[in-house]
Amino acid sequence: MAHIRFRSAVAPLRRNLSHRPVQLPTVDRMVADLQPAEPMHCIRPQVLSATARRFIDLFDRAVGGDVLYAVKCNPDPAFLRALYRGGVRHFDCASPAEIRIVRQMFADAHVHYMHPVKNRAAIAKAWNDFAVRDFSLDSQEELDKILAVTGANDDLGLFIRLAMPKGAAAYDLSGKFGATLEEAVALLRRARPLARRLGVCFHVGSQMMDPAAYEAGIAIAGRVIAAAGVAIDVVDVGGGFPVAYPDMTPPDLQLYMDAIARGIAALNLPRETRIWCEPGRALVAAGGSVVVQVERRRGGDELFINDGIYGSLSDAGVPAFRFPCRLIRRSDAPLMPFSFWGPTCDSADRMKGPFLLPTDIREGDWIEIGQLGAYGATLRTEFNGFDQARLVEVVDQPLLATPGHRILPQLLEMAA
């Protein structure tokens, strides 16, 4: 037990990369052995590897393209290792820190700097220190920065981020990035003579519940390509692929692949054109959970727990995501809805839920909260000093399976 790893919220990329978390057989056994007083992050490496392998296989069969893992979703080395074992070789990075950890861990990785707005120092570090050659942009100013820093090198990959309309995503991403049709056409024409690889990319929004959004996004990309009249090497359909939550059941993953395949087929692109995608949540959400402890029960349906919106449960705050949860002890009591309060002194540290748990839950009990491999530990802060957590590997199945994403036992065996 001395090898349990503690995690610091403020430096998730500065750990000893060779240090592996201890592996225990199940979450219940871990709680019984460790009696954790801090939040305990549980990693399911076999689930992560199997999920990655299935996603890559489906995307390859649909369009024969490349899957870029969105590192911002969870940059923990244990997660990255498991995804690599599942076949991930391309990584969508948004900062030099993310690029660094991928380069340190995987010598053969393909790293793509897909943040559309970067400062010159970050571009220089990516180019000079980490041999990154692919850059996303959505403005003439950004193109000028990239060209100035890299010296307009003939090995450049330039990818124009397109503006997208608002859609049926849980997180709308249409307001911050994206070139209009006219801007994108001008950028493609300017970039074509300068780029060894030229592409268009877009993002339909995070936790996108409508497969048709990808087909619509590809159609927008097609109009831009046709208007620009230049050869395109890559079409990147972005991320946003959803997972299940207690009140969100997305369509089968195959329907998303079918929509992408239809959209790409309609463009009638040259055979050599590569198709990319950038999944994050869909690859890692089910591979992580957090165990919290009840510190107080108040008023019948309110639970004070030792993690909250400044920790792993940011999405349970204002975004009001509901996560699957279970009591870690035997109980035959019926379920009832609870809300959570986090451990900080901030009254905003509240998670309305409802979270369904047995009526006999009490102070000292442990709760496992699932689907937190995505944007859980990654968003932890040190506010009020509640930044400590432990990290363990377990072999349990996820608390909640997404239709079309279910990890079959044989896939788990293959990923082991």
Distance between CA 394 and CA 21 in Å, rounded?
10
State the burial class of residue 16 (Cβ atoms within 10 Å of its Cβ: 0-12, 13-18, 19+). exposed
- φ, ψ dihedrals at 145, nearest 5°: -60, -50
**Tokens found for residue 169:** 């995503």
Per DSSP, the residues of 231-289 read: --SEEE--------BTTB-PPPHHHHHHHHHHHHHHHT--TT-EEEE--SHHHHGGGEE
Catalytic-labelled residue, pool 93, 201, 277, 345: 345
Cα–Cα distances in angstroms (integers) from residue 106 to residues 69, 91, 101, 113, in the given order: 13, 10, 9, 16
Torsion angle, alpha carbons of 189, 191, 195, 200, to 10: -80
Nearest by Cα to 171 from 193, 203, 138, 139 = 203
Is 345 tagged catalytic? yes
Distance between CA 96 and CA 71 in Å, rounded?
12
Residues assigned a catalytic role: 345
